[in-house]
Structure 1
């Protein structure tokens, strides 16, 4: 009997569970259906919004593409002008570089010629300086010799003048002596004549 008692309870529980499961299934299906409908509704709304955005974006793209084409056309001429200017400037720069190279080549040649002349003149100047130093030394010697000769000449002239003065004085004294001697001699002779 004990083994038979639990069966009706199990059946009851099983029935309850089945009912509950059936209700849960119905509720779930209803919930899923509602969720699905809401999702579809939301999806449709989003799709409409997305399509509107796509349409707007397409319009923006067309508009921007038209603006871009207009700008490209507008700026193509400006670019062409700038390219021409760039080419012209590049050619001018190239010409200036060539002119600079030619000028620098000429200047280099001129510098080398001037440097050669300068080196030669420097060597000549050094040689002239050496000659000048020798000549200056010789001139100093000649000057010194002249000075010494002049001093000697002046000394000789002084000595000669002294000797001439001395000779003149000696001659004057000698003449005076001779005159006095002659006068004495004459007096003696006169004296002798008078005595006779």
Structure 2
């Protein structure tokens, strides 16, 4: 019994010591945690201050850059305004020229269209007249062919007639020549006989 009571008492004492040790550990941990937190907080505040100073420095540099860029922008705006004004004037002049060109083109195209319609109407009329002339030409060509054929036939007949006339002329010429020769021979034959008779009389007289 006494041993059990001693063991129980010893166990209770050990438990109290353990609890006390745990409390001390917790207090140490709590103190460490507070120190760590304080250190972290201090480091954070220090880092925050450094970052704030760096940020302020960057802001100052950026502000300076912004100021320089604004000055450059204002300068470029002034330059671009002058350039824009010149471009606007040029654009206005070009637009006026384009409008004049368009109006001149429209006027020219209207005149060309009217001229084209006039020429097309004349072409259509001339085409119709040409078609009639072609028909007349075909008829005249046929008539000309007939006339040429008739002329060829007439020429052939004329040629044949001339050849026939030439033959008849030669025959008539020969007949006339033969007839003239016959007449001349007929005329000269009695004279020759008479001459012969006279010659005999002379001979007789000479003999006497």
Are residues 144 and 12 of structure 1, via their aligned partners in 2, closer, same or farther at CA, if it must alter by over 3 Å?
A: same
**Deviation (angstroms), 1:158:** 3.6
**Map of 2:83 onto structure 1:** 78
Aligned to 1:40: 45
Number of aligned positions between the proteins: 180
Secondary structure (helix, strand or coil) at the match of 1:30 reads helix
Shift of 1:163: 4.6
- Gap regions ≥5 residues in structure 2: 190-208
Q: Report the more deviating stretch, 153-162 or 78-87.
A: 153-162
The 1:27/1:142 distance shift into structure 2, 3 A limit, reads same
Instruction: Give the 3 Å change call, closer, same or farther, for CA 157–54 of structure 1 in structure 2.
Output: closer
After superposition, where does 1:1-196 map in structure 2 within 5 Å?
1=5, 2-163=7-168, 169=175
> Which whole-Å CA distance do the structure 1 matches of 2:100 and 2:45 have between them?
76
Are residues 49 and 165 of structure 1, via their aligned partners in 2, closer, same or farther at CA, if it must alter by over 3 Å? Answer: closer
Indicate how the Cα distance of structure 1 residues 130 and 6 shifts in structure 2: closer, same or farther if over 3 A, else same: same
CA distance in 1, matches of 2:72, 2:159: 118
Return the offset for 1:96: 1.0
Runs (4+) of structure 1 moved beyond 4 Å? 160-168
Distance in 2 between residues matched to 1:5 and 1:165, nearest whole Å:
194
Q: Aligned Cα RMSD in Å?
A: 2.6
Q: 1:192: which partner in 2?
A: none
What SS does the aligned partner of 2:9 have? coil
Q: Residues 6 and 131 of structure 1: is their aligned pair in 2 closer, same or farther, counting only changes over 3 Å?
A: same
- Aligned equivalents of 2:170 and 2:113: distance in 1? 81
Shift of 1:75: 0.7
Change in 2 beyond 3 A, CA 1:22/1:154 = closer
